[in-house]
Chain A
Amino acid sequence: MNRKWKSRVEVALIYLFIAFMFVVIAYPLLWTISMSLNPGTSLYSASLIPEKWSFEHYKWLFTSPESDYLLWYKNSLFVAAANAALSVLFTALIAYAFSRYKFVGRKTGLYLFLVLQMFPSLMAMVAIYILLNMLHLLDSLWGLILIYVGGQIPFNAWLVKGYFDTIPRELDEAARIDGAGHFGVFFRIMLPLAKPILAVVALFNFMAPFTDFLLPSIVLRDPDKFTLAVGLFNFISDRFANNFTRFAAGSILIAAPIAVVFLFLQRYLISGLTAGGTKG
């Protein structure tokens, strides 16, 4: 009897702690939603349970002639799609070579990737700015895409190579005996079998431009070219037009779809990370 009670108290305490965590997690998220529904622009007069519910900020984002929100959405989608497609292509090519071939510089290359992925891209910002300037790619979405695609290589090549390593070599040897060439093995064996990890790479490169504000804020100058993150950041960073409620509305519209997709796919990410990172 005593033992049963102890167990019940324990379970109750566990649920209590989980409930506490739920509150801690939900509070800021719900608060953001309620901010976005508060009329007026000021953070100060807004309250958690608005006296008047209003969708004016959402309406403003989509209909006001002053609002560039749809344009930013379009820019972000363009950068995201190009980044996802190009990243998968370049990364898969590199990972295939590193996983299946012996060549001079293979080890050095792997080591280079590992060291490079540790360096924060921020450290290279000044040089990237000057380089893009020299190439006349400053203030251009293609310049931004170029930097994203190049910058993701070290980390993702490592991830995809780890996954390729888990595909049995017997498969590509068999294909070679059947007469498949280098490209044949790559396109008909490796790519189809590596779909899960390639999907993860595509997805994360698709989502990155929606949430990164640092690089675009340095590369892009013209508000017409802004991506969502830069545009939204300017809603609140502008000292004279601090507009938190509008920022909240705009953020929810990007955070919600990203969160949903993410929740569906995080399992693949975890298995990809542990496969590529530790087991190799």
Chain B
Amino acid sequence: MPEANVRHRPAVAMALSLLFAGLGQLYNRRYVKGILFIIIEASFLLTFYNFLNIGLWGLVTLGEIPMLDHSIFLLIQGLVSVIIIAFAAALHIANIIDARNDARRRQRGEPFPSLIESCRHAWDRGFPYIFVTPGLVMLLFIVVLPLLFMVSLAFTDYNLYHSPPRHLLNWVGLENFKNLVSIPIWKSTFFSVLAWTIVWTVVATTAQIALGLFLALLVNDPRIKFKRFIRTVLILPWAVPAFVTILVFAAMFNDKFGAINREVLSLFGVSIPWMTDPFWTKVALILIQTWLGFPFVFALFTGVLQSISRDWYEAADIDGATRWQKFKSITLPHVLYATAPLLIMQYAGNFNNFNIIYLFNDGGPAVRGQNAGGTDILISWVYDLTFTTNNYNMAAAISLIIGLIVSGFAIYQFRRTRSFKEEGNI
């Protein structure tokens, strides 16, 4: 058993390991481990030095010579570099902590685990990382990197007139956001689109929740028969792929030839300009979204309603409560408590419900004095800005605003959920 060595200092080990991985381990006289760490860090630097160097340079400058430097590729390489460096930094910190722990042991004169033991320990401790890594790498490159890229674009001048390789991009700070609220055409478009997005989210989602709740209550009534059959039919709109039904509705709502005007409303002698008048397009969109969205809420509430204990209602009956009182004080609180996070998600989903807006009428009809269609919501406007007019910078700036808003939803959800309170036990 080694003796305690008070002169052995953890601080020295940590400083050495900070300088270069493995040095602190050598100081701790853990030679195999130290050499292993040195080899790993050296090969990392040899492999990635050039890539990281160019990446970071590119991230800062976005290139210096037009035609030769491609700002977009440099930007992506820069972001990848940042991710790699973050990984490396995490490993480096783990190495410093390891040096400190070993040094403390030496100081106290505790024995070191044998190589086999420490391998086993590493396997046990490292196991969750092995499980998480494949998915995490995918997530980083497929979800996180693109989002970082989008965030970066919001601070550049990338649009149709400034596009690589012919031009270099520049960092422009908050310019895009300033333009969004100061240049008249952007300003009027932004605020009218934002207003409609909010109205759309609130009205369409509330309508689908209200209808779902109402139907769930009706079908749950003990006097109603054929419950299974009724429920199956009511869930049908959810079962049919939405992109099919939206396109079918788009055809049905066609002003001149659509079935709604031709076969239904003609009975009453009316014809409504569903596709050409922004107001009526909005009405149609809300009706369709209600049709598409209520079955989910209905199924959800049906499940909850069946789980409310009979006792509550019997007690209320004894007290002579009216039906409305029972609904207000028993049913509603139960239902809402169990489903609140999912209902919030419904609002978030409609806030970004690109499919229905795009497929129904492509955000149209066009309106004068703004560069978005009359029924465009923020996300479909972003799509048009990106793929039709190539205003990448403005699209990214608006995306960032959307991102901030949806994060608000996410944080609410985060606080409600109990999954965080469950701890791992290994």
Contact pick for A162, options B73, B340, B345, B419, CB 8 Å: B419
Contacting A at CB under 8 A, from B309-342, are: 338-342
Residues of B within 8 A of A10 (CB): 223
Contact between A97 and B417 (Cβ–Cβ < 8 Å)? Answer: no
In the complex, are the beta carbons of B239 and A110 less than 8 A apart?
A: no
Q: Do the beta carbons of A134 and B150 come within 8 Å of each other?
A: no
Per the 8 Å Cβ criterion, residues 220-245 of B in contact with A are 221, 223-224, 230, 232-245
Docked CA distance A271–B307 (Å): 12
A149, B135: Cα distance in complex, Å: 9
Residue B285, interface by CB 8 Å: no
Bound: A232/B247 CA distance, A: 10
Stretch from A18-26, A50-58, A62-70, A196-204 at the B interface: A18-26
Secondary structure call for the B interface:
helix
Kindly identify, within residues 126 to 166 of chain A, every residue whose CB is under 8 Å from any CB belonging to chain B: 126-128, 130-131, 134, 146-147, 149-151, 153-154, 157-158, 161-162, 165
Partner among B131, B223, B241, B410 whose Cβ is within 8 Å of the Cβ of A211: B241
A131 in contact with B243 (CB, 8 Å)? no
Interface pick from B46-54, B98-106, B195-203, B378-386: B378-386
A256-280 interface (Cβ within 8 A of B): 258-260, 262-263, 266, 270-271, 273-274, 276-280
8 Å CB interface, A107-129 against B: 107, 109-112, 114-120, 122-128
CB < 8 Å neighbour of A150 from B138, B248, B257:
B138
Known: A93-B131, A274-B303. A131 touches B141 (CB 8 A): yes
Query: Is A193 an interface residue, CB under 8 A from the partner?
Result: no
Cα A110 to Cα B417 in complex, Å, equals 11
> B147 to A213, Cβ gap below 8 A?
no
CB-CB nearest in chain B for A228 = B241
Which B243-281 residues have a C-beta within 8 angstroms of A? Answer: 243-245, 247-249, 251-252, 254, 256-257, 259, 263
The CA of A265 and the CA of B150, in the complex, are separated in Å by 37
Q: Does B354 contact A (CB under 8 A)?
A: yes
| Least distance between B401 CB and chain A CB atoms (Å) | 11
Q: B44 at interface (Cβ–Cβ under 8 A)? A: no
B239 proximity list for chain A (CB < 8 A): 258-260, 262-263, 266
Which residues from 396 to 415 on chain B have a C-beta closer than 8 Å to any C-beta of chain A?
Answer: 399, 402-403, 406-407, 409-410, 413-414
Asked if B247 and A153 make an inter-chain contact with CB atoms under 8 angstroms apart, the answer reads no
Centre residue among B150, B215, B243, B382 by max chain A CB count within 10 A: B243
What are the residues of chain B within 8 A of A161 when measuring CB–CB?
419
Residues of A within 8 A of B257 (CB): 43-44
**Is residue B218 contacting chain A, with contact meaning CB distance below 8 A?**
yes
Say how far B354's CB is from chain A's closest CB, in angstroms.
Answer: 6
Q: Does B369 count as interface, using CB distance less than 8 angstroms?
A: no
Q: In the complex the two chains form, what is the Cα distance from A260 to B232 in whole Å?
A: 10
Query: Closest approach, in angstroms, between the C-beta of B22 and any C-beta of chain A?
Result: 21
A41 contacts B by Cβ under 8 Å: no
Q: Which residue of B lies closest to A96 (CB)?
A: B131
Chain A interface residue number, banded: 35 or more
Q: Which of A107, A150, A251 contacts B139 (CB 8 A)?
A: A150
**Chain A residues within 8 Å of B223, by CB:** 7, 10-11, 14
Q: Which of B73, B413, B422 has the most CB of A within 10 A?
A: B422
A191 at interface by CB-CB < 8 Å: no
Which of B143, B238, B242, B358 is A151 in contact with, Cβ under 8 Å?
B143
Q: Can you list 22 A-B pairs, Cβ within 8 angstroms, ordered by A?
A: A25-B233, A28-B252, A90-B134, A93-B135, A101-B131, A102-B425, A118-B409, A118-B410, A120-B379, A120-B402, A120-B406, A123-B399, A126-B146, A126-B395, A153-B135, A158-B419, A212-B243, A233-B247, A251-B244, A255-B241, A266-B299, A276-B419
Beyond the given A128-B142, A182-B127, A270-B303, please list 6 additional residue pairs across the A-B interface where CB-CB is below 8 A: A10-B223, A93-B135, A124-B143, A150-B141, A214-B354, A277-B342
Point out residues on B near A: beta carbons under 8 Å.
72-73, 76, 124-125, 127-129, 131-132, 134-136, 138-139, 141-147, 149-150, 153, 215, 218-219, 221, 223-224, 230, 232-245, 247-249, 251-252, 254, 256-257, 259, 263, 291, 299-300, 303-304, 338-342, 345, 348, 352, 354-355, 358, 379, 382-383, 386, 392, 395, 399, 402-403, 406-407, 409-410, 413-414, 416-426
